[in-house]
């Protein structure tokens, strides 16, 4: 009985496309500004009864001196830097109030814990996109919360805010 042997195939020109950058933690004042802004957006969204399973928190970051054109699709839709599904943190609720989502059903979880988890994720993503500069000065952060036809499609409903980090 013959046994078949295989030789592993390696691509000769594989390259690492991981960006080479130094992460800089957001300042306490920038974290507070982002938290206040996100809380206002999500509380407005919930109060308007627009928090659904596919509700997104999106952001776009403009860093001084760094050229990155906004992505767009054939229909002219904005492609955000990143987005977070709000339903990963908060439950779509008919009471028009923010309550911990299904992932937090395993015990006595406070809203503060849920906010902490969501903001930790957002801060981390913002820190990645702002890593080309060593200071937050002049960086503009645009945030949207709402619902789209698809993650990259037209907004059905959205609330937004633009802030400058210091």
| Sequence spans of domains, the chain | 28-164
- What is the average per-residue pLDDT within 145-161? 83
Q: Are 166 and 30 in contact (CB under 8 A)?
A: yes
**Residue pLDDT, tens place only, 95-117:** 788 889 888 888 778 899 999 99
First to last CA, the chain: 73
Name the nearest CA neighbour of 158 among 50, 76, 85, 70.
Answer: 50
Place of tokens 């596919």: 54
Residue 129 has pLDDT above 90, yes or no: no
Residue 114 host element (H or E): helix 111-129
Name the nearest CA neighbour of 118 among 60, 41, 50, 48.
Answer: 41
Contacts of 66 (CB under 8 A, 6+ apart): 132, 133
**Residue pLDDT, tens place only, 57-98:** 999 888 777 666 555 555 555 556 688 999 899 998 767 888
> Which pLDDT score is estimated for 119?
96
- Whole-model pTM over 0.85: no
């Amino acid at each position: 009985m013959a046994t078949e042997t295989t030789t592993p195939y390696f691509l000769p020109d594989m390259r690492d496309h991981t960006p080479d950058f130094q992460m800089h933690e957001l300042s306490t004042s920038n974290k507070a500004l982002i938290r206040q802004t996100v809380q206002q957006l999500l509380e407005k969204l919930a109060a308007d009864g627009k928090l659904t399973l596919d509700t997104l928190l999106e952001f776009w970051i403009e860093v001084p001196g760094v050229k990155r054109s906004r992505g767009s699709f054939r229909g002219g839709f904005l492609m955000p830097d990143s987005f977070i599904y709000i339903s990963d943190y908060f439950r779509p609720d008919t009471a028009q109030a923010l309550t911990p989502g299904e992932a937090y059903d395993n015990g006595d979880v406070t809203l503060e814990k849920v906010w902490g988890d969501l903001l930790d994720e957002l801060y981390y993503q913002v820190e990645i996109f702002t890593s080309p500069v060593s200071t937050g000065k002049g960086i503009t952060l645009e945030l949207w919360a709402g619902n789209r036809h698809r993650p990259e499609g037209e907004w059905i409903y959205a609330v937004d805010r633009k802030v400058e980090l210091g």
